[in-house]
Structure 1
């Protein structure tokens, strides 16, 4: 057998096109020099990926007389000229009838609008199905105030009937009609200037929309996700600043996944009967505005979720709902067994199987941890991701911290059957960021001693903490591992694994 046989070139065009589809266009075009067989393969690929960033030459030496930012802007300008010419020539030589995906990463600074307009018109004529436009360019545009200039999308783009996936970054638009969205299934807007009215118009024109992501969008007074008749399955709201009325209204009965990251706002959420997964992260929110009742109500709206992730803010304020409910019943006589009803969410999370805490394991979080565990009677998997402590100012109630301390083995068990029944379902515990400090050890000790059907506990330490150390630290770490392995376990089959 000859060693110089080119088996890849003997593959059919369909396979070669699949190989090229994984390459940015700059490298896809270069395959044309491999052989005559490869010369025009790239010109038929339905996946066009143009990225300006890979045209920037980082190897050239900076002149001493030029400061670093001016040098970067110069290289960026030079790269943009070469990039625009490359895209233009590539599309002139393109031979495909249809474009499945067109991806463009370009730092728009107000120039080359006509070129971009021509490229978009080219993709529309080729019946593009997925359009991904990002005009941020890494923040090196000539607009010093913002680092970019939003590209205004042409109106004809909204007449494309074949488009079913649209991702827009650093764009602006306000068309008179949205014919494009008659077939759109996935829409991502990342930093895009919107208005509440524009969002409503979008949703009213999206008859088959299944995924909506709003990331760092601005200009909204409030956010109304009114989609009772849409097949909307995934909703992500990430750090969208609402002013002057910070409120989010959601009506989406088909929703399967809800992900929120941002400041605390007023939520008006109808129950989601099909919800599978939810994530609530209020970022670096540290204000206490008696939001416990609203958080309880929000969690109640997510009662059908099987997977739930919550941040420290939720955990610290969830108990405040107990104070509000108990004060409302102050005039009534409360029996001891009825007292338990005030120590969990008004709506128990019976469907919840997987719960994740993103916390610092501060003492102020322990009551909220107990609250949510008691409210999740059928929990099977618990994940604790430790990180920076975030104590909510003006709320920490030091009088109750000892009541919920992990250090007292029987305290939580004495709180009542709803919390105790949880321990008969818990099979998996994951702890990430384990360093062995006091509260972490108490958590591990408590869960091992009380989780009767536990099958596995996975403990993952930060890099260089448990296994990367040497010398004296290494001996200390292995001593810590031995201490964990020696802890009493209620489950005979429980395994403890370290990573």
Structure 2
């Protein structure tokens, strides 16, 4: 039988004419590493089908280092309702057993419904194969204990565990004995029966090389301390029982806190961060903490704030807490305020001017609001922005429509309101260059703001109005509305209007 090497020598020989090269299998002659890279672009089911073509392709399947079984699951399928997932765990275990004498596994991803013993056996097989990235999502009959074989692995670099039934972490003394090479850790649906098991866990002793940490739905988590010196990204989501958070990571670049902190224990919550390299903060749908201490934030570039608070529960003390929180973020260059926080400002205008410190380095401001009137109190504390983005939500549109035929806008109280703040907004009007208003309508509130900006913004370059869909407005009325706005006087000769 002719070997592949003999075949290649024959093809290179002078006697072999170019015409006889038709049908040559050049792909099979590629090195294994190149073919493995090509396989990475295919779903695993296709790779299995290819493996039956020849012994050469079968060997490639047995040595393929990246096993992603998630590609066989239809998108959007619930893990507990997909019948095949109940058998998939056994299939994966058998495949790993065939690999133990042939090749290690670099990446293993799978979704499965498994028993405790089956899951632990599968993970032990993966660890024996020197797996570097392990991403598992499992549904079991009950809460299971975190497999200890993972902790002691010297090859594991990325670990992502999601259990739809929940799982428990081992005691701290066991956790601290491993994870010496781990760089990325993602844990979802963790049950914490013993609070001390996680308070001092995320330190250099346990995770000396950790750069990314993601914790989601950690039940009974009340206090968390993160002190990994190499950590660059920290994401906390759905930890509603959280009362205290302390972060001391000198290389932290990105922090996201979403749906965290116990609103019922608002008088006992606190937040402390010491991260001199922090670049991005997202505080989304989370409660206001009673005490906050933010220090050494000198490289901050982007901040998004979305507090979860009811107006009836807001008082001067809570507003003061918000002020203390924002004062540590006043060096940011880009700020996004979600509608909840903007409502706090608009409904507490006198307090806002007292409590909130100016954002002197701010260059870009994005606001999600239900109405534009009252924004003056926010714009006063952002005197040097050059980009303003306003997203007007659907929640508030009971304003009067602008009647172009019978009313003169200069006589409306909406324009008089903005004109009364001209002096306070003078610094802003000397810097503002780009304004984008999404959800713009024919209400007098929206139009009065546009007319004010065109009239007083001296260096304005672009004013972009994204019109709200209004099926009741015909084409000719729509065009006439735009032409009326185009006729407003402009302080800047370079100002351009754009409708979309």
TM-score calculated relative to the size of structure 1 = 0.73
Pairs within 5 Å for 1:67-466: 76-77=82-83, 79-94=84-99, 97-106=103-112, 108=113, 111-135=114-138, 150-170=143-163, 171-176=166-171, 177-194=175-192, 197-204=196-203, 205-221=206-222, 222-242=242-262, 245-246=265-266, 247-253=269-275, 254-266=277-289, 267-271=291-295, 272-282=297-307, 285-290=310-315, 291-318=318-345, 323=350, 343=353, 346-361=356-371, 366-367=373-374, 369-389=375-395, 405=414, 408-415=417-424, 419-461=425-467, 465=469
Superposition deviation, residue 323 in structure 1: 4.5
1:382 is paired with a residue of what secondary structure?
strand
Secondary structure of the residue aligned to 1:76 is: coil
Q: Secondary structure in 2 aligned to 1:81?
A: helix
* Contact 2:43/2:71 (<8 A) preserved: no
Partner SS state of residue 270, structure 1: strand
| Structure 1 residues 128-158: Cα deviation after superposition (integer angstroms, max 9, x where no partner) | 333333336xxxx8x7xxxxx5553212222
* CA 3–446 in structure 1, closer or farther in 2 if over 3 Å, else same: farther
SS at match of 1:453: coil
1:25-36 alignment runs, 5 A limit:
25-33=44-52
1:41 corresponds to? 60
Matches within 5 A, 1:477-496: 477-496=478-497
Q: Which has the larger radius of gyration?
A: 2
Task: Rate the CA distance shift 1:483–1:224 in 2: closer, same or farther, 3 A.
Answer: same
Could you say what secondary structure the match of 1:39 adopts? helix
* SS of alignment partner, residue 192 of structure 1: strand
Q: What are the Cα deviations for residues 466-495 of structure 1, in whole angstroms up to 9, with x where unaligned?
A: 7xx6x9634443344434444433332233
Distance 1:53 1:285 in 2: 44
Return 426-435 or 314-323, whichever deviates more.
314-323
Q: Equivalent residue for 2:6?
A: none
What's the CA shift for 1:451? 2.7
Residue pair 2:187, 2:214 contacting (<8 A) in 1 also: yes
Contact 2:368 2:393 in 1 (8 A): yes
Q: Which residue of 1 aligns with 2:226?
A: none
Deviation at 1:299, TM superposition (A): 1.1
Count of residue pairs brought into register by the alignment: 432
Distance 1:286 1:359 in 2: 15
Secondary structure of 2:465's aligned partner: strand
Q: Please state whether the residue corresponding to 2:385 is helix, strand or coil.
A: coil
Cα gap change, 1:52/1:411 in structure 2, threshold over 3 Å: closer, same or farther?
A: same
2:260, 2:287 within 8 Å by CA — same for their partners in 1? no
SS at match of 1:51: helix
Any runs of at least 4 consecutive aligned residues in structure 1 with deviations exceeding 6 A, and if so which? Answer: 1-7, 55-58, 319-322
Alignment gaps of 5+ in structure 1 = 59-68, 144-148, 325-341, 392-402
Query: Within 1, Cα distance between the matches of 2:162 and 2:464?
Result: 39
